[in-house]
Amino acid sequence: MNRRRHWGYPVLLAGLPAALLASFGAVGALDVPLLTDPSPALGQPGPASAAVGVALLLTDVAIPVPSSLVMVAHGALFGVIPGTLLSLLGGLGATLVAFGIGRRGRGLLARTTTPAQRARAEALLARYGLIAVLITRPIPVLAETVALLAGTANLGWCRVALASTAGVLPVALLYAVAGATAAA
């Protein structure tokens, strides 16, 4: 058996969080104001600030975005229900983007892992993948890693979307309430 085929999952499990943390470090070193305090970019309530907030949450898949600040700003600018819905849209969208990247990476994973490794990973993801998506949604780096791994499994888009919604909704609501309360 070809030894090089054994590196796929270990590299993915260790390398993906490491790459995300390195990205966070690099962007942090650049001190991009939008990514350290997005409040000024969100400005006044309206379609543009709603779109910027959702876009920031979507880009959290690849670059560090203070998603909690964005979600609080959604609540402050739009109120509890609209703020929650905007944050839910962005958080769910981020999950689906990461899931889609995982789907696209299945071929690479098939070339770099053995059938036994894939079967073991598939069994674990089939058993725990949806709950992992749900409970990791509020956890930076881990949420993106789990969503990407879920994309490599035979989990369906709808099931992952439901798990993500269940994971994002309480946090989005909590931050929207905090933002709306602070703005009042």
| Cα dihedral: 4, 16, 148, 60 (round 10) | -160
Tell me how far CA of residue 127 lies from CA of 153, 166, 180, in angstroms: 11, 17, 38
147-161 pLDDT per residue, tens? 988 998 889 999 999
* Residue 63 φ/ψ region, left for φ over 0, alpha for ψ in the -120 to 50 degree band, beta for the rest: beta
Residue 55 has a pLDDT of 94
Residue 36 has a pLDDT of 62
Number of domains in the chain: 1
Predicted structure pTM score: 0.79
29-51 pLDDT per residue, tens? 766 666 666 667 677 889 999 99
State which residues form the domain around 74: 3-183
Residue 1 has a pLDDT of 46
Mean pLDDT of the chain: 85
50-103 pLDDT per residue, tens? 999 999 999 988 887 888 999 999 999 999 999 999 999 999 999 999 999 999
Per-residue pLDDT at 113 exceeds 90:
no
Among 37-46, 100-109, 168-177, which stretch is predicted with the lowest mean pLDDT? 37-46
Residue 81 contacts by C-beta under 8 Å, 6 or more apart in sequence? 176
> Does residue 15 or residue 81 have the better pLDDT?
81
